[in-house]
Amino acid sequence: MTFQVIPAIDLRGGRCVRLFQGDYARETAYPGDPVEVAQRWQALGAPLIHVVDLDGAREGRRVNQDTVAAICSAVSVPVEVSGGLRTLADLEAASAAGAGRFQIGSAAVRDRAFVAEAVRAFPGMVVVAVDARGGRVMTDGWERDSGLDALGFAGAMVELGVPRLLFTDISRDGAMEGPNVGAYAQLVAAVSVPVVAAGGVTSIEHLRALAAAGCEGAVVGRALYEGALDLKAAVEEFARC
């Protein structure tokens, strides 16, 4: 499978934003309607669009669901939806709105029975987020320390049948400092399912390093919005490989 370069749309109050290391007090808002941004990423070759409801992640409920649904309706590539998905009903609603995949994080930490149920109900569509700071899993919009070891948690999710993991090194997210490639390589070696990387990607070189580490793809946010990375060129490079 071609290494996937996946643009992110992080929503807060219906706007496209990025947070620095998950800090809600350190927000950068970007111009443009989120739906139009999604259409632009699709036109540039994005194979998948990663949409995060930041308000939902923090509040534990779906907040920007109307905007998420509008994005799903406006593009033909799959949309991966994240943030505030805590119940099977939430996943069903996201599916009805057009989501192609669901990412669950906090709910996966708290309720493993829910994870197993979700995997059975939506085969191949569930992605569990392993959001780590200092090797420990964070929840609730990355504001609470679960006390769980990231690698141990990831292994437990695979045992439940989760088909894919998204690993974010929070210390690198939105910082434009490059990804923690060693941490991703360690997780790839430890689990038997595809791993998507997030956090710190700013260049083609970073993407090459993650691909060499065995990652299935990488989610990219701020680097695209600020022009540090050319999405079209990145997608085309990995399509040639």
Give the pLDDT of residue 160.
Answer: 97
Q: Which of the four pLDDT bands, split at 50, 70 and 90, describes residue 175?
A: low
Q: What angle in degrees, to the nearest 10, is found between the helix axes of 181-190 and 204-212?
A: 30
Residue pLDDT, tens place only, 109-126: 999 999 999 999 999 999
pTM for this model (two decimals): 0.91
Establish how many alpha carbons lie within 13 A of residue 66's alpha carbon, considering only the half-sphere containing its beta carbon: 3
- Residue located via tokens 């997608």: 235
Q: Which of the four pLDDT bands, split at 50, 70 and 90, describes residue 17?
A: confident
Instruction: Tell me: pLDDT of 173 over 70.
Output: no
Check if 33 is active-site: no
Q: Per DSSP, which regions of the chain are E strands?
A: 4-12, 15-20, 23-30, 49-53, 79-82, 101-104, 126-133, 136-139, 144-149, 165-169, 195-198, 217-220
What's the count of helices (H) and strands (E) in the chain, helices before strands?
11, 12
Min mean pLDDT across 32-46, 142-156, 161-175, 197-211 is at: 161-175
Exactly one of 55, 131, 169, 173 is catalytic; which is it? 131
Exactly one of 10, 55, 169, 173 is catalytic; which is it? 10
Q: Which of the four pLDDT bands, split at 50, 70 and 90, describes residue 224?
A: very high
The whole-chain average pLDDT of the chain stands at: 91
Domains of the chain: 4-240 (3.20.20.70)
The SS3 assignment for 82 reads strand
What are the C-alpha distances in Å from 168 to residues 5, 7, 11, 73, 184? Answer: 15, 14, 17, 27, 9
Check if 131 is active-site: yes
Element (H, E) at 47: none
Do residues 70 and 35 make contact, with C-beta atoms less than 8 angstroms apart? yes
